[in-house]
Each structure stands twice: as C-alpha cells, then as structure tokens.
Amino acid sequence: MSRIINVARMQWINRATFVTIPLLILGAALLISLLIYWIIPVDGPKYGGGAQAPLWYFLVIGIQALTLTFPFSLAMSVTRREFFFGSMLAALAVAFPISIVFVLGGLIESATNGWWINGWMFHLPWVWEEGPFGAWLLFLAAPILFFTAGFCLATIYKRFGSVTLTLTLVGLGAVAVAALAIVRQLDAWAGVGVWLASISAVGLALGLLLASVLVSTLSMALLQRATP
C-alpha cells in the first residue's frame, strides 16, 4: 500500500496537470458563464453547461498520467499493478475535492438565486433532483470515468501503437453511428427519449462508475504488456 501511495505522490508532483489547470478551467468557465448570463437580456432562468469543462479535462489528465510517468515508474522498480492503482488513487484524490467544489457552487447558486442574475451553472434542476448527495455522486463519477477513459486510450497507444489507437477511436465512432442508425430504423426515438428522461442523477452516476470499473479493468490488463 505504501508503494501505491508513493506512485500517487509521484503523479501529484505534476501539480499543474492535476490541480492548477483544472482549477483555472473551472474559474474561467464560471467567469465566462456569468458574463454570458449578464449579457442575455432575459429575466427567466439561464442555464449553461460550463461546469462540464473541467470534467472533460480529466480525459487529458488520464492520458498524461500514463504517458508522462509510466517509463519513469518502471525505472524506479515500480510494478505495473502498483502504478495502476497509484494512478487511480491520484485521480480519485483530485476528483473528490472537485466534486465538493461543484456541490458548494450549486449551494451558492441556490442561496443567491443564480449569482443574483438568475444564471445557473452548477445547480441544474435535473442534477439536483435528488439533493446534494445525488449531485455530488454525479460530479464525482463523471471525472473518474473521463480519467479512466484517457488512461485506457494511452494504454492502448503504449501497448499497440498509434495505428491501433486510431482504429479503436474510429471503431467507437462507428459503433455510435450504428446505434443511432438502429434507433432510426426502428423509429424508436420516442422510447429512447422516455428512457433517458427516466434516468436519475444517482442512476447515471452509478452507471458511470460501473463503466469506469470496466474500462479500468481493460486498462490494467493491457498495462501488463505495455512498453514504456
């Protein structure tokens, strides 16, 4: 366990990637969103998706967590298993406080009626339907999934090279398009819409966590034969 913690501490040495840049992205997204809310001449609620910006950046963090430190860790006699769990611990240690910041932002918006201008970035109605816990769980699950996805893509690159990585991304895109085509062929858009509307924030969060476990399992299996 101590060696896993040491791997996490090694990841945290790159604080710009794990701490500074996510906070800068979050601060910039909030500032830009508030300016847009202030410009829009509407008295009703104004909702924005700026809160997604730092969550998507966790995809980059996952990629860099492998590509920047994996060769060094092996040179320091760290096993692949220790590197994997240490990297996941480093990501969790960043995602947890970020999720708390998002919940606090939502509470501030609720207390100030959207920053006194009826503008909402954190306290989105659907996300907060099940209260602060549901919002926190979703805000925690999303960055973890993005991190594990980025980590997995970087592992594929290290294991098989750029051609396989490109084919993998193309294949994922093809599967998505095929799924849309099937829905279109069956004329099932209404049913899909009803199903999506029935998913709660907690349900989506649990689904994202399950997906993170599956992607992490694949990453760990590929990492066993990945080269620095």
The reported pLDDT for the residue numbered 115 is 94
The reported pLDDT for the residue numbered 68 is 84
Q: For residue 142, give the nearest of 54, 16, 83 by alpha carbon.
A: 54
What's the predicted TM-score (pTM) here? 0.91
C-beta atoms surrounding 158 within 10 Å: 19
The reported pLDDT for the residue numbered 217 is 93
The reported pLDDT for the residue numbered 202 is 93
The reported pLDDT for the residue numbered 24 is 92
The reported pLDDT for the residue numbered 226 is 76
Q: Going residue by residue through the chain (228 aa), what tens digit of pLDDT does each one get?
A: 788 888 888 888 878 888 889 889 999 999 999 999 999 888 889 998 888 888 889 999 999 888 888 888 877 788 888 999 999 999 999 999 999 999 999 999 999 999 999 999 999 998 998 899 999 999 999 999 999 999 999 999 988 888 999 999 999 999 999 998 998 888 888 887 888 778 899 999 999 999 999 999 999 999 888 777
199 Cβ contact list (under 8 Å, min separation 6): 207
The reported pLDDT for the residue numbered 89 is 92
- Rounded CA-CA distance 222/200 in Å is 33
The reported pLDDT for the residue numbered 69 is 85
The reported pLDDT for the residue numbered 51 is 87
Q: CA neighbours within 13 Å on the CB side: how many for 57?
A: 20
The reported pLDDT for the residue numbered 212 is 95
Residue in this structure with the two tokens 């966590």, named with its chain if needed: 209
End-to-end Cα distance, the chain: 23
The reported pLDDT for the residue numbered 170 is 95
Burial class for 105, CB neighbours closer than 10 Å (0-12, 13-18, 19+):
buried
DSSP string, 115-178: IIIIEESS--TTTTTTHHHHHHHHHHHHHHHHHHHHHHHHHHHHHH-HHHHHHHHHHHHHHHHH
79 Cβ contact list (under 8 Å, min separation 6): 3
